[in-house]
Structure 1
Amino acid sequence: MAAPTEEKYSILLPTYNERENLPLIVWLLVKSFEESGYNFEIIVIDDGSPDGTLEVGRQLEKMYGKDKIVLRPRAKKLGLGTAYIHGIKHATGDFIIIMDADLSHHPKFIPEFIKKQKEHDYDVVSGTRYALGGGVYGWDLKRKVISRGANFLTQILLRPGASDLTGSFRLYKKDVLHHLIDSCVSKGYVFQMEMIIRARQNRYSIGEVPITFVDRVYGESKLGGQEIIGFAKGLLFLFATT
C-alpha cells in the first residue's frame, strides 16, 4: 500500500436499481484507492431504488465504515444532474470523481486520472472512449453507431475541444465542479455534454485519459428512445445558446 497523500477524493455514485453492482464497484474502488494511497470517500446517492440498493449500501457502510461509505439517498428518481448537486453538498474531498455504478467504468483508470491532473494541474480530467487506447465493449452495432453519431454531431455543432462529450467518468476540482453545475441547465444525458461545453466557455483546462467502457453486466440499460430524443433536443439547445 502506498503512503497516504493530503488530497482527498470524493467519488459520487448515483444509483437506481444497482443492488447487484454496488458491492463490486465499491470493492473495486476501495481496493484501487488503498493500493494507490489516496484518501477517499464514496458518496452513494440512491434515488429510491425499489430493488433494495439502499439496503445493500447500508451493509457496505457497516463493512467499510461511515467515513468511507457515505449514504445520501433521495426519495425518488430526480435525474443525474440533481444527483450530482445533492452529492457535492456532502463531499468533503478536494476533488470530485463522477462515474457510473453499473461497472461500465472501471476504477483501475482513476489513478491515471489523478496522475494526469497532477502533472498539468487540469481543472477537469475526462475519460474518453474515442482517443487512441480507448474503446467500448459489449455494445451492439446499433448502440455504437448512435454513440459515435451523437459524438460526431456534437463535435461539428459545438466544437468543444474534447473527444468524448457524452461520457460520465470524470475528475473535477471541487470548486470547478461547483461553478459548472451552477451554470448548467440541462438534465439527464445532455448534462454531461453541457458540463464540457461550459468548461471550455469558462476557459477551464481539460485533460483526457483513454478508457475502456464495458456495457453493464447486471440490470437494464437506462438508455431508450426518450433519452435519445432528449439528447437531440439538448444538443440543439446548446447549439443555439452557446
Structure 2
Amino acid sequence: MGVLLTTLEFLASLLLIFLLGFVSVIVLEAYRRRHNNAHVEAPAMFEDPESLKQVPFPDIVDPAEKYLSLIIPAYNEEYRLPGTLNETMNYLQQRAANDKSFSYEVVIVDDGSKDGTKRVAFDFVKKYGVDNVRVILLGKNHGKGEAIRKGMLHSRGELLLMLDADGATKVTDLEKLENQIHAIARKDYHPGDSAAGEATFRISDIPIVAFGSRAHLEEKALATRKWYRNFLMKGFHLVVLLAAGPGIRDTQCGFKMFTRSAARKLFTNIRLKRWCFDVEIVFLCKWFGIPMLEISVNWSEIPGSKVNPLSIPNMLWELALMSVGYRTRIWKINS
C-alpha cells in the first residue's frame, strides 16, 4: 500500500509540474515576444592575458578553422579544473606532435565562478597561448547548459566535444566517439553527389552526434546505491522517456561530440540553461533527423558533484517546460 501511495504521489507531482510548466511557457513566451529579445546574443569576447585586449570570438556559422574544439564549462572549479586541463593538454599536444594535420583548441567557459576558476583558466592561456586555449567569461552564473551553448557557438572546430571540468571521463575516450562519427559519415557520404568527389568531403558538414555513455555501468550502480536514489533515477528516466522519447539510455553523461553542422543546428535552438539541456539535445536531434550514436566510455565518480537531491525538482521543471514548449509549438525551432 505504501509503495502504491508513493507511486501515485510521484505521478500526481509530475502532472502538477507539467501543468505549471504549460502556464510558465505561455507567460515566458509572451514576455519574450513583447520585449522582442529572444536569442539576442551579446557579442562574445575573450581576453588575451598578455595584451589584456578584448578580442571577438568566432561564430558557429563561420567555416571551421581547427579540427577539434573541446568545450569545458566551469563553475567554481578552482581545484578540479587544473588536473583536467593538464591531462587534456598533455593528450592534445602529444597527438599534435604525432600528427601535423591535427589542430585543436580548448574553450573554457567560466559560468560566473566565485572562486579562483578564472585565474586557473588564464594561467593555461598564458602557458599555451590564446590560439590553443581560450576563456569565455559569462559574468554571472547561468547554468551548465548555457555555458556549453555559449562555448559551442563560439568554437572553431570541425568536431566539437563537451567535457566536464571534473575529468570524470578520460579525454582519450574522445577517439571512440571520433572514430564512430567518421565511420558513420563515410558510410553516408556519396562522392557521386559532387563533381569534386572525395576532395569536398569534410566531417564538419555532416550532422552527427555521439553521446558518451555510462549505461554499461548501471547494473553496478544499482547494486551500490540507496533504494531511494535508484527510485529517483528510474523516475527521472521515465520522465526523460516521456519528454524526448527512446533512443539514448544515458542522456546526462557530460561527454558528447558534435560535428560542426550538428552543433550549428542544435545550439542555435537550445533553450534550457541548466541540467536538462542534454535531453533537449536528444529531442532536437530527432526533430532534425540527426543520427545519434551512444558509445560506452570510461567514467569514475569524482568528489564535488554539483548535482544533489534538490536538483531533481529543477530537472523535472525543465523537462516540463521543454515538453510543453515544443509540443505546443510555442517554442519555435529555427532550421
Please tell me the TM-score bracket, short chain as reference.
0.7 to 0.9
Distance between the aligned counterparts of 2:238 and 2:294, measured in 1? 17
| Aligned-pair identity (%) | 21
Match of 1:25 among 84, 100, 111: 84
Structure 2 residue 152 is matched with structure 1 residue 88: yes
The answer (yes or no) to whether the contact 1:9–1:93 under 8 Å persists in 2 is: yes
How does the TM-score come out when normalised to structure 1?
A: 0.85
- In the alignment, structure 2 segments of 5+ residues that lack a partner are 1-64, 97-101, 186-206, 328-335
Distance between the aligned counterparts of 2:217 and 2:167, measured in 1? 22
Instruction: Please give the root-mean-square deviation of Cα atoms over the aligned residues, in Å.
Output: 2.6
Over 3 Å counting, the alpha-carbon distance change for 1:53 and 1:7 in structure 2 is closer
AA at the equivalent of 2:209? V
Instruction: Name the structure 1 match of 2:115.
Output: 51
Structure 2 residue 223 is matched with structure 1 residue 130: no
Higher mean alpha-carbon deviation, 166-175 vs 32-41, is at 32-41
Deviation at residue 41 of structure 1 after TM alignment = 0.8
Deviation at residue 110 of structure 1 after TM alignment = 0.7
AA at the equivalent of 1:230? N
Q: Which has the larger radius of gyration?
A: 2
Match of 2:270 among 170, 184, 192: 184
The residue matched to 2:314 in structure 1 has which SS? helix
Distance between the aligned counterparts of 2:147 and 2:248, measured in 1? 24
AA at the equivalent of 2:75? Y
Match of 2:316 among 224, 228, 232: 232
Match of 2:261 among 163, 175, 196: 175
Over 3 Å counting, the alpha-carbon distance change for 1:48 and 1:7 in structure 2 is closer
Instruction: Name the structure 2 match of 1:76.
Output: 140
Distance between the aligned counterparts of 2:275 and 2:152, measured in 1? 18
Higher mean alpha-carbon deviation, 6-15 vs 113-122, is at 6-15
Superposed CA deviations along residues 117-167 of structure 1, whole A, max 9, x for unmatched, are 111126100011114799769x84354553344224423553231221222
Distance between the aligned counterparts of 2:178 and 2:84, measured in 1? 18
Q: How many residues are matched?
A: 234
The answer (yes or no) to whether the contact 1:45–1:87 under 8 Å persists in 2 is: yes
Instruction: Name the structure 1 match of 2:130.
Output: 66
Distance between the aligned counterparts of 1:134 and 1:212, measured in 2? 15
Instruction: Name the structure 2 match of 1:204.
Output: 290
- In the alignment, structure 1 segments of 5+ residues that lack a partner are 1-5
How does the TM-score come out when normalised to structure 2?
A: 0.63
Deviation at residue 48 of structure 1 after TM alignment = 2.8
AA at the equivalent of 2:308? G
The residue matched to 2:151 in structure 1 has which SS? helix
| 1:134-173 equivalences in 2 (<5 Å) | 140-141=225-226, 142-143=228-229, 145-155=231-241, 158-173=244-259
Deviation at residue 36 of structure 1 after TM alignment = 3.8
Instruction: Name the structure 2 match of 1:3.
Output: none
Bigger helix fraction: 2
Over 3 Å counting, the alpha-carbon distance change for 1:235 and 1:86 in structure 2 is closer
Deviation at residue 222 of structure 1 after TM alignment = 1.6
